[in-house]
A and B are shown apart, each in its own frame.
Chain A
Amino acid sequence: MLNIKNLHARLEQKEILRGINLQVNPEEIHAILGPNGSGKSTLGRVLVGDEKYEKTEGKMTLEGRNFDEMDSAERAQAGFFLSFQSPPEIDGVSAKELLLAAKKALDKDFRSSFRLKKELSENLKKLHLSDEFMTRDVHKGASGGERRKMEMASLLTIDPKIAFLDEIDSGIDVDAMKAIATAIQEFMKRKGKALILVSHTEKLLQMIQPTHFHVLCAGTIVQSGGQEIMERVHQCGFCDFIQEKKKNSQLKVVS
């Protein structure tokens, strides 16, 4: 479904992604772990087409369609969704208006603001947000937890093929975490969906049970595998992986 090959990208003069390879298939949940500044959020930004980042090498495709030939809106229309780590406040535009415009962009035949309202209201309820969030300015004056829950309600409403959730669980209380986990599970129950999850907290990962784990260090994936990776990170942190990587690269230089 989503195929990332040898992806290199930089922000201004600084190279952040240095050759990422990742293949995500339907029904899979990929958790990306890694220390701060390793490039996790950058990966999401490059995937969504943030022009601040310059892709210098590599290829990203979604169901065979090359992201290089698509702008951010077209990537979203093709089925890619990014939840923002710090979603911005938007003056004078409500979630209802924003998501109606989004639905219309994704589906030319979608016109019913009534249907959107009903769907959004149901999804807000699942995240324990009141209907008030439908009409007030998007993210305006909302807490971190409310913003993240709103991102999840948006995800359920937009219904993309694949979502990249960037620290959807940071700085939220247990109840919010549960609501978000339940929403993720509901999304994954829908047919053919896939997920990439950037997270620092073990709690959410335990609830979600990702199918794949990757450790990202200094812009490359240094280790991929299953559940055992999370346990290793939990016990020894990322130092282990970083040391291993250094060793490997030294070996490469020697050979």
Chain B
Amino acid sequence: MSSTVQFQEISRADLDTPNTQKYAEKFRKGLTEEVVREISADKKEPQWMLEIRLKALKIFHKKKIPTWGPDLRKLDFTDIRYFSTASENPNAKTWEEVDPEIKRTFERLKIPEAERAVLAGVGAQYESENVYHNIKKEWEEKGVIFEDFDVAVQKYPDLVRKYFSRSVPLNDHKFAALHYAVTSGGTFLYVPKGVKITQPLQAYFRMNSMNQGQFEHTLIVVEEGADVHYIEGCSAPKYGSQALHAGCVEVFVEKGAKARYSSVENWSKDTYNLNTKRALVHENARMEWIGGNLGSGVTMLYPCSILIGDNAQADHLGVAFANTDQNQDTGAKIIINGKNCRAKIVSKSLAKGGGITTYRGLIDIKPHAENATVNVECDALMLDDKSVSDTIPHITCDNPTASMTHEASAGKISEEVLLYFQSRGIDEETAKGMIVNGFLDEIVKTLPLEYAVELNRLIELEMEGSVG
């Protein structure tokens, strides 16, 4: 089996090298009501959208920084550029129309290649705006909508308004409020009743300039009996100065529908990734979250599934890798209200060079949730003595018919296993790489082949120099 997308060729330079950022000077730093109004005016938004923004801004100022989890005291809200655009020509339908320098960036990240080979549609966001957005004709003809979120607000205001902020409310937490105040770009994906999309759709988010903030909103609606796989990738160059990502993903999985959301987040190590993802899962529907978190200095991300219908299901599969100066605080939230619901969480984390990984999980089984089944498995691998790993599960169960298991393991690479590899002639570095890949295999193999290769490649880049 040979992949036509050469993700294994991606190098550190492809991810870390910035383009020109002169355009950014036009946009000021800091967060004021004026900035919020300017963003809204720039997009020529309807009044209701502006009202949501202003309301959210007030909540943001009122809410306190979380007192739990990683230390966010160094995050300086005044030294972030909340909105900037680099391109004269947003939302191009062909790559030829995309600014050549920006196009080259996405080519280095293999996005057009992947689009040709395996995807049903692609969105490419650069700073605050989508520079490219396209869906293959056959799916468009079936009524699938795949648009830049800002465009969708204009083109499908009623549809957007019906779902927007219905799963993640403005006052959910400080960064959700911030997100709604300055949101820009993102994806609107609507799959009509009964349409099963056989190829995944992908959006790629790239931050380019220093001290940039990215606040894209992803809204996915999967109507009754429909089926979709949506993939997100993200990266940003490294400057040694803070950047902020506070995106929001809302997924609505209607009766008997199925949604799979996969993401590989690889922000630069200067980035605070404070992201919110939530799915409302109806009767007989199924939600799958597959996430790889490799980048960012600080990540706080706990995808959430709310199982509101009977027989609803959720799978959360997550990989986190924390290297030097990285704190990956990730996990899952499952709230069950329907009868006979099932949820599974598999979390695998790797810590190296003094990195910190934490699994933080919340499971809440409500009084009406008869016969709920929840299985949690979290495994942590520490690659040296300096690195740290924690597991913080929180379980509330208000129904006695629930069945729950929680398995956790934390440890280092077994010396016996390492010796076994070496006794077969395999050198230490290769052996460690293979053992780490094997540790993650259960999750990586759920990704389409091309993305499994990409994730393995990104892990390989992190593993370099792991033999001291």
Q: Which residues of A contact B (CB under 8 A)?
A: 48-52, 71-73, 76-77, 81-82, 84, 87-88, 90-93, 97-99, 101-102, 105-106, 137, 154, 158
Contacts and interface: CB of A to CB of B under 8 A. Distances in A.
B459 to A, nearest CB: 13
Contact of A97 (B415, B428, B434): B434
Interface string B406-419: 00000000111101
Interface stretch (B31-39, B352-360, B439-447): B439-447
B441 A92 contact: yes
A50 B418 CA distance: 10
Contacts of A50: 419
A93 B419 contact: no
B424 A98 contact: yes
A92 B437 contact: yes
B422 A93 contact: no
Contacts of A101: 421, 424, 426, 430, 434
- Looking at chain B's contact residues, is the secondary structure mostly helix, strand, loop, or mixed? helix
Nearest to A101: B426
Contact of B415 (A48, A52, A73): A52
Contact of B435 (A81, A87, A93): A93
A81 B417 CA distance: 15
A245 to B, nearest CB: 31
Contact of B440 (A90, A92, A137): A92
A105 B427 contact: yes
Contacts of A106: 425
Given A92-B437, A93-B435, A99 B417 contact: no
A73 B424 CA distance: 7
A73 B434 contact: no
Nearest to A160: B425
A82 B434 CA distance: 20
Given A71-B428, A98-B434, A101-B430, A88 B422 contact: no
Nearest to A83: B423
Given A88-B416, A90-B420, A98-B421, A73 B427 contact: yes
B438 interface: yes
A72 B423 contact: yes
A71 B427 CA distance: 9
Nearest to A45: B419
What are the 10 A-B residue pairs with the smallest beta carbon separation, nearest first?
A92-B441, A92-B438, A72-B422, A76-B425, A93-B438, A102-B424, A105-B425, A73-B422, A73-B427, A77-B425
A154 B427 CA distance: 17
A108 to B, nearest CB: 12
Contacts, number: 75
Nearest to A78: B425
B438 A87 contact: no
13 contacts: A49-B422, A50-B419, A71-B428, A72-B419, A73-B427, A84-B420, A88-B416, A91-B438, A92-B437, A92-B439, A92-B441, A92-B442, A105-B426
Given A71-B428, A92-B442, A81 B423 contact: yes
Contacts of A87: 420
Contacts of B435: 90, 93
A101 B427 CA distance: 10
A119 to B, nearest CB: 15
A50 B434 CA distance: 20
Given A90-B438, A105-B427, A105-B430, A76 B422 contact: yes
Nearest to A47: B423
A93 B437 contact: yes
A82 B439 CA distance: 24
A91 B439 CA distance: 6
A82 B424 CA distance: 8
A90 B432 CA distance: 12
A74 to B, nearest CB: 8
A122 to B, nearest CB: 19
Nearest to A84: B420
Most buried by B among A49, A51, A72, A137: A72
A88 B434 contact: no
Contacts of A77: 425
Interface in B66-104: none
A87 B422 CA distance: 13
A84 B438 CA distance: 20
A112 to B, nearest CB: 14
A137 B426 contact: no
B134 to A, nearest CB: 36
Contacts of B437: 92-93
A97 B435 CA distance: 11
A102 B425 contact: yes
B417 A73 contact: no
Contact of B441 (A52, A91, A99, A105): A91
Contacts of B424: 76, 81, 98-99, 101-102, 105, 154, 158
B408 to A, nearest CB: 15
B441 A158 contact: no
Contact of B417 (A49, A71, A90, A158): A90
B439 A73 contact: no
A48 B426 contact: no
B422 A158 contact: no
Contacts of A93: 434-435, 437-438, 441
Contacts of A158: 424-425
Contacts of B420: 84, 87-88, 90
Nearest to B428: A73
Name, among B426, B438, B439, B441, the residue most crowded by chain A CB atoms within 10 Å (CB to CB): B426
A175 B334 CA distance: 51
A154 B426 CA distance: 14
A49 B422 CA distance: 9
Contact of A88 (B417, B427, B428, B441): B417
A48 B424 CA distance: 10
A102 B434 CA distance: 12
A51 B416 CA distance: 10
Contacts of B426: 73, 76, 98, 101-102, 105
